Structure 1
Amino acid sequence: MTDRALYLRIADEIADEIRSGRLTDGQPVPSTRQIVRDWGVAMATATKVINALRTAGLVETKPGSGTVVRPREQCPAGTSRSGVAEPARHAVLTRHEICDAAVQIADAEGLGFVTMRRVAAAVGVSTMALYRHIPNRNDLTVQMADSVFASIRIPPIPVTDWRQRLDSGAHLLWTVFNRHPWAAEVLSVSRPQQMPNLLPIVEWSLSTLRAMGFDAHDMMCTHINLFGHVRAMALVLLAESQAQADTGMSADDWMRHRAGSRQRQPTSTGHPGIDYVTREQFDFNLDTVFEYGLQRILDGIDAHHRTLGLAT
């Protein structure tokens, strides 16, 4: 009977699959749910398995793909693929490390799988130790969402070019949501949370609208509708990514499947609009749909601006 921890023994088995070539570069490794099912262990143990493989430099997390084998050329110098060493314990655990671990779980499996217990296992501490840094899960998810907006860089667009500024602001948010669609679940339109990294983009939007001559009512209604459009489309993106993972079909594949079913039905269905777009085979691209909606909102802002006599 070995004294080696169970999660390390499981990690060794997966590492052996990688070493032998049975799991190749970029190929998904067993998910935490699969580890729980196949090895009969608790979710916390499965999380520690993935974390050990990640610490060893053997795997990486890719949004939309889960945890995959890290390309050999990207492995750190000296990394061995023959086994997994027990990770060294951090002398001091930081809120940043906790948040980063939680983001990796959310990116790979969704926000619903982020629990205090799982995050604690990922960083190698007890759940109670985690509570010394993070008071509760709600606080953690807010910090997670705020952290993913840290990459936003405000472009040097003059305040007089209002359309380009609002357009760029929406696209900055859309880019973040594409990488981390779960963040849309955290952000609230009616009860905005305190997020230092998101504050600059909010100020960017409101100062632009103020410079256009809008009053506080028009400023807030416009800002909320713009933000609401981006967030709503991000929630569609999230639902689509989950549906694709569950069915193995893209939105276009599903549309074609449904179109085939409809074509086998009688020609006259009493739904001419639906029949028309089905025949035309609409390209369901969420980036295109997002862009279409954004430009129509900006057109409406422009029209309202001119109606008020504020356009120059």
Structure 2
Amino acid sequence: MATAPYRRIVEDVKRQLRTGALQPGDRLPSTRELARQWKVALATAAHAMRVLAEEGVVKALPRVGTVVAGGTSRPSATRGTAESTRERIVRAAISMADDEGLPALSIRGVASKLGMPVMSLYRYVASKEVLLVMMAEAVFADELLPPEPPPGWRAQLELAARLEWRVFKRHPWLARVVSLTRPQPQPGALAYADWVMRALQETRLPAQEVMRVHVLLHTFVQGIAVNLESEADAIAQTGMNDEEFMRRTESSFLNLATSGRFPHFAKVLTGLRTGFDLDFDELFETGLRVWLDGLEVRLARR
């Protein structure tokens, strides 16, 4: 009988322990990394991690991730003040969402990660929705803006956009949590808004325009970032990255493009002799430059 995919991951980790390739305290790859390495579904990789934890081979450390058991022990999640316990819960939830994706996040899963009874978590976090708000606030607060801004409104907007992009890249789930229509009053996120609005003071735009520029800049960053989580989910579920997927569907695109119905698309597609690399960082930088160029022209006309 063939070995179950999750079991192959479990046995490989144990083999690395026997050979010394992994030592107590060493950090294991994230669930998503395991899914990519073994070309299995995200749920399969997560199941392997749970089995390893149940067997005492690995343990989860807040702010660190999953490590080989036997290293420095973590403090009990039930000790300490309510504030420190709430912090551990939020950090464990962030680690789970980073590793396994937003769909895998649950109160029960966080409780299991911390070794706490499920119902005890509700003493510190009222619901999953509240937990998501706390997670978003924590990751924005981790990426501090500098105390002194660079000179000029454009340089200041560039800096804010790049730092926000870095937060979204570190936590791909975040773009699905932050709401444009129902924003939460979070100090970490409002620090970015305050920075942008201060930068725009020198432009002398009216308050309505300042708010529009702030919202548009934020949605530009979030709009690209929302694809990070989608791509990670697609890789985990199919075992194919974007390049492999495009190679598989290339002939279908070519057949449709050369049908005569879409001549301009066909012209561009056939002109991509070396292919097209969808690099999110490059896309972000190009888009930010074009966006700011347009704002600069608009301001000059005023």
TM beyond 0.5 = yes
Structure 2 residue corresponding to 1:33, chosen from 43, 50, 62: 43
1:289 aligns with 2:289: no
How far apart in 2 are the matches of 1:136 and 1:46?
27
How far apart in 2 are the matches of 1:182 and 1:96?
19
1:303 aligns with 2:294: no
> How much has 1:208 moved relative to structure 2?
1.1
1:207 aligns with 2:198: yes
TM-score, reference length from structure 2: 0.77
> How much has 1:35 moved relative to structure 2?
7.4
> How much has 1:116 moved relative to structure 2?
0.9
Pairs within 5 Å for 1:160-239:
160-239=151-230
Structure 1 residue corresponding to 2:71, chosen from 76, 79, 87: 79
2:143 aligned partner:
152
How far apart in 1 are the matches of 2:56 and 2:187?
29
SS at match of 1:54: strand
Say if 1:205 and 1:20 are closer, same or farther in 2 by CA, change over 3 A.
same
TM-score, reference length from structure 1: 0.75
How far apart in 1 are the matches of 2:208 and 2:90?
36
Per-residue Cα deviation, 1:226-263 (whole angstroms, up to 9, x for no partner): 00011111101221222122223322332333324445
Unaligned runs of at least 5 residues, structure 2: 1-9, 36-41
Q: Identity, % of aligned pairs?
A: 32
Amino acid at match of 2:180: V
- Residue pair 1:152, 1:172 contacting (<8 A) in 2 also: yes
Say if 1:194 and 1:218 are closer, same or farther in 2 by CA, change over 3 A.
same
Amino acid at match of 2:54: V
Answer 1 or 2: higher relative contact order, Cα 8 Å, separation at least 6: 2
Unaligned runs of at least 5 residues, structure 1: 1-11, 62-66
Amino acid at match of 2:102: L
Per-residue Cα deviation, 1:258-286 (whole angstroms, up to 9, x for no partner): 32444567944322222233220222111
How far apart in 1 are the matches of 2:178 and 2:261?
41
1:49 aligned partner:
54
